[in-house]
Amino acid sequence: MIPTLPEVLPIRPFTRPAAASVRVPGSKSVTNRALALGALAEDGVAIAGGLESRDTAVMKAALKALGRSVEEKEGRTVLSQAPGGALFPNKTASLHVGNAGTAARFLTALLALSDGGVYEVDGDEAMHVRPMQGLTDALASLGAEFVFHGKPGCIPFTMKTHGVKGAGVTVDASQSSQILSALLIMAAGAGRPFTVELSGKTVSEPFVKMTLEMLRQFGAQVQSSGKNRHTVTGPLRMSFGNAYAVEPDATAASYFLALPIATHGSSSVEGLGNIRLQGDIRFANVLRSAGLTVKGKLDLPDHPDLMRASLDGTAKGVSADFEAFSDTFLTFAALAPLLSGTTRIDGIAHTRKQETDRVAAMAAELKKLGQNVTEEAGALTVVPDLPAMVEIARKARAESRCVEIETYKDHRFAMSFAILGCRDLLGDGAPWLALKDPACCGKTFPDFFQTLEKARLSSCRNS
């Protein structure tokens, strides 16, 4: 259940160095892949530790609308095989995918496997401009028919399905790796060896690797020729015991691993010690470059499931390419005002077409805080000006208000700037920064602010 939050939420700073250990929810990326693969599995699937959020609720609701049984039993999500073995018993359905890119792309690819279906697919306004054309073009070449009701190649559309024709497809996934992942998942349900070949490059390659590894975990045979050609052979069978265990969300963990930049001290995240699938765990290397001490299971033999970040002094700016783990660039960029020296973030051009134009929006919010920001097509350079931010906060305080950050209905903006707000910038323990629309965190981390407050209270007790 998504907590009720005010329209504008002041962030209470930490008045003591961080000394907290938190648990983050399951990975959205892994959960929605597990649901998609579970729909193809011959015996269904039980999913343990999956994320409960808006994006995963969208995926489950769509599967139910298509006639699949999705139940919550004893803390697990159980997706049962459809009667008669049909992938989607319902041949007509209206699906609303919100602003969930994984649900939009994975479901569209799965729909193509159905023969004789007519499906209406729509989403939030922001989803109407997110990249889909590489996927719809590929599916059209395999026999699907699309009637677009807005921008060509984008949601909303009507899709008529005739099953997947042929034994392979070439796809342009240059704007989103989810397009390639969607086709790889679909390939497992083709009923024959099916080859997906990438034309050119894609972004966020670790998410493609995640998909390939999860296909193997679900029993598919995968043969790869380099990074651009993959042949997938089903069927899928559950072969991992009683339930598929979803990893904790490494992207969600990034906020708490970065917390010491704002508060000093140390912050631990439970369950990260055995991350295998998520490329966003590489964010820890950026923190190390910035001067934080980050320890994992090899450094913490008594707590092998933990990852712990700590900082005694001031972190420094870095120059880093975030393309492979771009969801975490907001985490670091929002804290750039607290770093000593310039920060340059590269490899983020594709994030202009995510929940919002993340590059432009981050530049705008940092400038609001008095920072010197240079915006390029795929990069941001931030020259920190801490005195300017302090002066802006003081002026707001004199007017009995907080500096308000626009979140653009983007969960990652809200969580990233919440960590900045944890700095006791004016030295009095009172909020100086507030977030508009904090409830947008319900997309992937509904309990984020409760978890952050527990970390603050824990740090006060433990210091």
**Would you list the DSSP string of 213-224?**
HHHHHTT-EEEE
In this structure, are 424 and 287 located in the same domain? yes
Question: What residues form DSSP beta bridges with 21?
Answer: 268
Predicted model pTM: 0.95
Residue of 404, 403, 395, 344 whose CA lies nearest to 374: 344
Write out the two tokens for 392: 């802006």
**Is residue 327 flagged as an active site residue?**
yes
The pLDDT, as a whole number, for residue 385 is 98
Whole domain around residue 383: which residue ranges? 8-26+249-462
Question: What residues form DSSP beta bridges with 94?
Answer: 120
Q: What's the order of all strands across the beta sheet hosting 115-122?
A: 92-96, 115-122, 157-162, 145-148
Catalogue the E-assigned strands of 112-217: 115-122, 145-148, 157-162, 168-171, 194-198
Answer yes or no: is 413 within a domain.
yes
In this structure, are 233 and 260 located in the same domain? no
Answer yes or no: is 2 within a domain.
no
Answer yes or no: is 3 within a domain.
no
In this structure, are 91 and 209 located in the same domain? yes
The pLDDT, as a whole number, for residue 460 is 86
The pLDDT, as a whole number, for residue 241 is 72
In this structure, are 338 and 418 located in the same domain? yes
- How many other C-beta atoms can be found within 10 angstroms of the C-beta atom of residue 288? 13
Answer yes or no: is 132 within a domain.
yes
pLDDT, tens only, 342-399: 999 999 999 999 999 999 999 999 999 999 999 999 999 999 999 999 999 999 999 9
Answer yes or no: is 155 within a domain.
yes
In this structure, are 344 and 421 located in the same domain? yes
Total count of domains within the chain: 2
Domain boundary among 228, 245, 262: 245
In this structure, are 240 and 276 located in the same domain? no
Question: What residues form DSSP beta bridges with 390?
Answer: none
Residue type, 265: G
In this structure, are 49 and 127 located in the same domain? yes
In this structure, are 319 and 442 located in the same domain? yes
The pLDDT, as a whole number, for residue 2 is 64
The pLDDT, as a whole number, for residue 7 is 96
Give the angle 324-326-328 at the CA atoms, nearest 5°.
120
In this structure, are 49 and 85 located in the same domain? yes
The pLDDT, as a whole number, for residue 43 is 84
Answer yes or no: is 1 within a domain.
no
Domain boundary among 220, 245, 270: 245
In this structure, are 72 and 214 located in the same domain? yes
Answer yes or no: is 432 within a domain.
yes
In this structure, are 124 and 261 located in the same domain? no
Query: 184 near 224, Cβ under 8 Å?
Result: no
Answer yes or no: is 137 within a domain.
yes
Domain boundary among 209, 228, 245: 245
In this structure, are 434 and 325 located in the same domain? yes
Instruction: Using 50 as the pLDDT threshold, list the residues of the chain that sit under it.
Output: none
Question: What residues form DSSP beta bridges with 157?
Answer: 121, 148
Q: State the catalytic residue, choosing from 55, 249, 280, 327.
A: 327
The pLDDT, as a whole number, for residue 463 is 61
